[in-house]
Amino acid sequence: MSGNSDLTVPVSISAGIHIGAIIILALGISFDDKPKQMQTAASAPAVQAIVIDQQKVTDRVEQLKKQKQDALQQEKARQAELERKALEAKRERESEQEKIKALEIQRKLKEAETQRANDAAKAAQVKQQQEKERAQKAEEIRKQKEKEQKAAEEAAKQAAEKRKQEEATAKKAQEERQRAEEERKRKEEAERKQREDAERKRKAEAEAKARQEREMAEALAAEQDSLSKTRNKQVLSEVDKYKAMIIATIQRNLVVDESMRGKSCRVFIRLASDGFVTTAQTLEGDQVVCRAAKVSINKAGRLPVSPEPAVYQQLKEINLTVSPEFN
């Protein structure tokens, strides 16, 4: 771009001069009062100067073109040299990397060999240590067996002496046991006779006492039977009374209609001691009557019960037949 700038200025100047000269010549413009002949004489050198300047401009243009071409050639040569050096540097780097890879492989191989050698040395050392330990253990076992054998022999000797002593002691103890057994048998015989005498006496007294107790029990049973019959009559009378009261309570709460006439329902009732209804179940009968009976029992909530425990025991779980009553 600097070459173009150098050419533009001279060319512009030259063109301007040419155009100006042509205009002046064409119009015949005069800038002073000199005669026309002087103007013509003066214009000749100007034309000549313009031609000379044009030649210089052309030469300068050619010179600039040549300088630009030389610069382009030098730049191409420089770029080619740079590419060649870059290619050589790339090849050198690749060669260096290959060398590094080869050295790394050799290093790893040497490390692996060293590791295998170290492992082999360690294995040999471990094996040697294990063999040494086995030998020590075998020696310890041998010494232990010798010690145990000596101890066993000594124990056998002591056992034989002890057995002799025990046999003598056992013989003496056997004789003492025999004497003690004979003494025990004599004592047991005497005690047996005493027990037999006492047992005969105890049996006689027991028989007399049993006979007396039996007679008293028979008399008491007769009296209790008489009282029980009287009491049972009273309880049964109370049970019937409270059953009637329970049925009356159910009847009071029972909602009836003509469809229930002549029909009935069997119900099961379980009562707490205060008369609270804990269970109310229909067993069998007309469904309408059974449903009305259950509603009536639940509505009542509590049914009459006797404060007498014997009567309550008869009434705490009862089966009743509910039959609707019509006025």
Share of the chain above pLDDT 70, in %: 76
Residue 12 neighbours by CB distance under 10 Å: 11
Average pLDDT, the chain: 78
Each residue's pLDDT tens digit, 212-231:
667 665 655 554 554 444 44
Q: Is a pLDDT exceeding 70 seen at residue 205?
A: yes
pLDDT, tens only, 55-71: 888 888 888 988 989 89
pLDDT of residue 257: 87
Residues 74-94 as b or e (16 or more Cβ within 10 Å = b): eeeeeeeeeeeeeeeeeeeee
In this prediction, residue 48 carries a pLDDT of 52
Which position has the higher pLDDT, 66 or 235? 66
Q: Please tell me the predicted confidence (pLDDT) of residue 2.
A: 46
Q: What is the pLDDT of residues 90-102, one digit of tens each?
A: 888 888 888 888 8
- pLDDT classification of 150: cutoffs 50, 70, 90: confident
pLDDT reported for residue 308: 87
Q: Return d(Cα 234, Cα 310) in angstroms, integer.
A: 10
> What is the structure's pLDDT at 190?
86
Written as one string, the DSSP assignment of 150-200 is HHHHHHHHHHHHHHHHHHHHHHHHHHHHHHHHHHHHHHHHHHHHHHHHHHH
Q: Determine the average pLDDT of the residues in 166-179.
A: 86
pLDDT of residue 270: 92
Can you give the pLDDT at residue 128?
Answer: 85
Helix intervals (H) in the chain = 2-27, 36-253, 287-300, 309-315
pLDDT category of residue 117 using cuts at 50, 70 and 90: confident
